């Protein structure tokens, strides 16, 4: 069964020209954690998503895939 892509973090990082390493440094997190978020293996907390949106200068809604 395919994993559902809940967040768009990987795409938004690419759009902004930022790397997992950059985000890991800004959030003081391990790069592996960021990678797991980007592959939708695990999800960041809502508070963390808000912080990521601020760092990337996007609306938090831009980080979440819409549901049908």
* pLDDT, tens only, 17-63: 999 999 999 999 999 999 999 999 999 999 999 999 999 999 999 99
Q: Domain segments of the chain: what residues?
A: 9-63
Half-sphere exposure of 42 (CA within 13 A, CB side): 8
**For the chain, how many helices (H) and strands (E)?**
4, 0
Amino acid 1: pLDDT: 43
Query: So what CATH class is 9-63?
Result: mainly alpha
pLDDT of residue 13: 98
């Amino acid at each position: 069964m395919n994993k559902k892509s809940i967040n768009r973090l990987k795409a938004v990082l690419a759009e902004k020209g930022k790397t997992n390493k950059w985000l890991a440094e800004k959030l003081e997190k391990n790069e592996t954690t960021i990678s797991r978020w980007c592959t939708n293996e695990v999800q960041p907390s809502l508070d963390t998503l808000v912080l990521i949106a601020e760092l990337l200068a996007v609306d938090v809604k831009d980080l979440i895939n819409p549901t049908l």
